[in-house]
Structures are given as C-alpha cells and as structure tokens.
C-alpha cells in the first residue's frame, strides 16, 4: 500500500473501517503526521528508521496496517531503544475505535492522547475543526502535532496538558476518546461529558492490558458514566498512572521477612488465561507482575504493589503439583490473586466482555453483567 486510498480500501474491505469513516480515511494522509524518524520493532528492541535513509520503506510502513513507534524514552543515540512513549496506533485500531465512538456530524469530541495528531485530523476532517479538542501531555509532541495539523490544513484545538484534567473550556463534549490505557478513569472526563454522551477508553490493570470500555454519561445531574467492556485493546499506559513494568522488581526487598508457603494453584491458569488474568487484575488492584526465566523450563512469577511495598514470588517447576511461594506484606498478593481466581471460577469463568465499569464522584466500580452486581475487589 502506498497511499491513503489504498490503506482506506484495505481497511474497509477487511471490515475494520465503517462506511461513515471511509471518505475521511481516503483524504487524511498518515504520512503528514508520522515523524521523519520512526522506531521499528526488532529482536534487539526498537531500531530507528529515518525517512531520508530509506524513503520507500518508511512510506510502506506508514501505509501498512502497523503501529509506528514515534517516540522512545531511552534514545541514547545508539539507534536501538526499548521503551516506546508515543506511537501512531495500528490503523485498524484507529478505525475500530472511531467506529466504536459512534461520533456523528455536529458532535463535539475530546481526544486525550494527541500523539502524532493523526487521529485528531481524522476527527476534525469528519466533524469539523471547531468540534475537536485534543490533549497531549508531552509538550514536544503537542507542538509537533500542531505543526503537522496546520501543514495538513486542519485546526482542531491542541492542548498541552494532562488528559486527566480534560479541557473544561470546551466542555461539554458529546464524545470523549482516550488513546492511552487507563487504570482509573479520571472523573473530570465524566464531568465534561454531556448527558447521554459517551466515553471510549482503553482500560487495563497491572495483570491485563487491556480492554476497550464504552461508558455512557447519565442524565443531567446524575454525575456518573457507566458501560460495558467491548473487547480487547492494548495501548501504552497513561503517563501519569503507570509506573513502568521494571518497577516490579524495584519493589522487591526485605527477603528475610517474607512468609514462605506453598500453593497448588498453577499460575498459568491465572496469567495464561486472558479472562482469568483480567478478573484477577480487577480484584487485586495495584498489583503488577513480571516473570524471570531460569533453566530447564523453570521460572519465577513476581508480583508487586509498589504503593504498599508488598511483593510475592512463586517458583514454577515444570510437572510440579504445587509451588513455593514467598510473600511480603502488608498485602499477601499471591493469596489475593488466588482468591480472585476462585471468585472468577465460582462465577462461571465469565469472559471479560461481561464486565463493565461505573465511574462517579465516589470513584470507579467494576461490575459483572449489570451495575448492581459489583465485583469483589475494586479496581
């Protein structure tokens, strides 16, 4: 694929792009928003590719159905980086989210996570510049998006700031779309959504990133928004909410104090099953994990809650019927994960699409099937 027409046709034919967004995808050129240097995933990490060095490859990637990393945290000049901090999402994901947003002509939309500005340009093309506001936390990215948008002839409002604050000056919005993964839905975004308006947001936990949820704001004065998980959707985390995964090991300390025990629960039943991992993540808030591989198929699962300084480890041995566990409080994280797994099994092993979320002034509540059936635990 070499241009927007081909990319749009591909996405449409493959069922990712709805009719109402087709013309917009044909007209908005992704190449206008992708920086000259992008980062391509390789076995060694993300490798820099500049437009000047290989224009044909750069353009092919821009018009392929691929997420493009456009900023990394650890750019040390070596041309290899490990931690992406901004990207232009996979076009099929962009198209799917825009369809899920159910935006219509005349709607006012707030996007949190401007990134390259490509999604804001799509929104502005279809809904008109004055109906679109987009917020980016990183000032350099916000400036670059402003330049790209202007060059492409679009002029939505680009705000440099934390998406958690929303943008009260432009409220109320008929639609709010977040393009990074949230642990907690900021209440300001609910407050800035018009009664009956909708919020579409990637939502994840430390054990599962993530799902896409669509919340509908209640009637005037209600002050809450509620709605179901629609399906899967993995995004980079909110810059303000997510300590990087490497912090899991930073939270491990005081090994002498740890409480030793054994568990008969195979950790693969929890973390190897997307629905179980999702449910456990909901019920064990603040818990993150990482895995350290040893020899001969042995590995250690590490759980940590940096907030309380709690951690747990489980040593997996192939073929074993039970496993050594170490836990350091105040939270007994493996016990919490095991209890969450038991709850999920007893509830009939519900898929993650049976869960939903209500966000109000008193916080965020997760439910199963209906808002009056809360999940024990709390994320």
Ligand X SMILES: C[S@@+](CC[C@H](N)C(=O)[O-])C[C@H]1O[C@@H](n2cnc3c(N)ncnc32)[C@H](O)[C@@H]1O
Q: Give dist(CA 305, CA 309) in Å, integer.
A: 6
Q: Which is nearer to ligand X, 229 or 233 (CB)?
A: 233
The residue with its CB nearest to ligand X is: 115
Q: Which is nearer to ligand X, 179 or 205 (CB)?
A: 179
Residues forming the site for ligand X (CB under 6 A): 85-89, 112-113, 115-116, 118-119, 135-138, 141, 162-164, 179-180, 235-236, 238-240
Nearest Cα residue to 272 out of 179, 354, 207, 324: 207
We find the least distance from the C-beta atom of residue 253 to ligand X, in angstroms, to be: 29
Q: Is 124 helix (H, G, I), strand (E, B) or coil?
A: helix
N-to-C CA span, the chain:
42
Instruction: Starting at the earlier edge strand, list the strands of the sheet with 173-178.
Output: 157-160, 132-136, 109-112, 173-178, 193-205, 208-217, 225-232, 355-360, 363-368
Q: Which is nearer to ligand X, 107 or 328 (CB)?
A: 107
Q: Of these residues, 86, 87, 88, 89, which one is catalytic?
A: 89
Q: Which is nearer to ligand X, 180 or 316 (CB)?
A: 180
Contacts of 111 (CB under 8 A, 6+ apart): 119, 120, 123, 132, 133, 134, 135, 176, 177, 178, 179
Q: Which is nearer to ligand X, 162 or 335 (CB)?
A: 162
We find the least distance from the C-beta atom of residue 255 to ligand X, in angstroms, to be: 34
Task: List phi, psi (to 5°) of 336.
Answer: -65, -40
Q: Give dist(CA 328, CA 306) in Å, integer.
A: 12
Nearest Cα residue to 288 out of 209, 369, 194: 209
Q: Which is nearer to ligand X, 164 or 314 (CB)?
A: 164
We find the least distance from the C-beta atom of residue 290 to ligand X, in angstroms, to be: 22
Question: What letters, b where the CB count within 10 A reaches 16 and e where it falls short, cover 259-292?
Answer: eebebebebeebbeeebbbbbbbbbbbbbbbeee
Please, are residues 347 and 368 in contact by the beta-carbon 8 Å criterion?
A: yes
We find the least distance from the C-beta atom of residue 264 to ligand X, in angstroms, to be: 40
Cα→Cα distances 8→4, 21, 91, 116, 144, Å: 6, 9, 9, 19, 25
Q: Are strands 193-205 and 173-178 parallel, antiparallel or unpaired?
A: parallel
We find the least distance from the C-beta atom of residue 132 to ligand X, in angstroms, to be: 12
We find the least distance from the C-beta atom of residue 364 to ligand X, in angstroms, to be: 16
Q: Give dist(CA 229, CA 200) in Å, integer.
A: 10
Question: Catalytic annotation on 88?
Answer: no
Q: Which is nearer to ligand X, 113 or 228 (CB)?
A: 113
We find the least distance from the C-beta atom of residue 58 to ligand X, in angstroms, to be: 16
Catalytic residues: 89
């Amino acid at each position: 694929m070499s241009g927007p027409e081909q990319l749009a046709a591909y996405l449409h034919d493959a069922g990712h792009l709805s009719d109402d967004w087709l013309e917009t995808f044909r007209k908005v050129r992704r190449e206008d928003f992708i920086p000259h240097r992008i980062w391509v995933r390789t076995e060694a990490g993300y490798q820099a590719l500049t437009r000047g060095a290989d224009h044909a490859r750069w353009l092919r990637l821009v018009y392929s159905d691929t997420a493009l990393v456009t900023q990394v945290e650890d750019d040390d000049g070596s041309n290899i980086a490990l931690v992406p901090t901004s990207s232009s999402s996979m076009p099929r994901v962009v198209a799917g989210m825009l369809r899920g947003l159910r935006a219509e002509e005349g709607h006012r939309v707030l996007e949190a996570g401007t990134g390259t500005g490509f999604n804001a340009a799509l929104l502005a093309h279809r809904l008109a510049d004055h109906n679109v506001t987009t917020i980016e936390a990183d000032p350099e990215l916000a400036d670059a998006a402003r330049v790209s948008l202007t060059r492409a002839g679009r002029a939505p409002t680009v705000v440099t700031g934390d998406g958690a604050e929303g943008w009260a000056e432009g409220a109320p919005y008929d639609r709010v779309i977040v393009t990074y993964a949230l642990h907690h839905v900021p209440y300001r975004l609910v407050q800035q959504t018009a009664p009956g308006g909708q919020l579409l947001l990637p939502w994840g936990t430390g054990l599962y990133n993530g799902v896409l949820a669509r919340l509908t704001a209640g009637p005037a004065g209600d002050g809450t928004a509620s709605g179901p998980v629609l399906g899967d959707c993995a995004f980079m985390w909110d810059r303000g909410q997510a300590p990087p995964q490497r912090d899991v090991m930073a939270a491990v300390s005081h090994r002498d104090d740890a409480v030793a025990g054994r568990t008969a629960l195979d950790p693969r039943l929890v973390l190897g099953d997307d629905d179980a991992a999702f449910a456990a993540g909901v019920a064990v808030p603040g818990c993150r994990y990482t895995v350290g591989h040893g020899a001969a198929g042995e590995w250690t699962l590490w759980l940590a809650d940096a907030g309380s300084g709690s951690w747990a480890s489980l040593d997996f041995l192939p073929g074993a019927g039970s496993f050594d566990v170490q836990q350091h409080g105040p939270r007994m994280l493996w016990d919490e994960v095991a209890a969450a797994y038991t709850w999920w099994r007893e509830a009939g092993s519900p898929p993650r699409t049976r869960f939903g979320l209500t966000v109000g002034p008193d916080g965020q509540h997760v439910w199963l099937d209906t808002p009056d059936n809360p999940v024990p635990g709390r994320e």
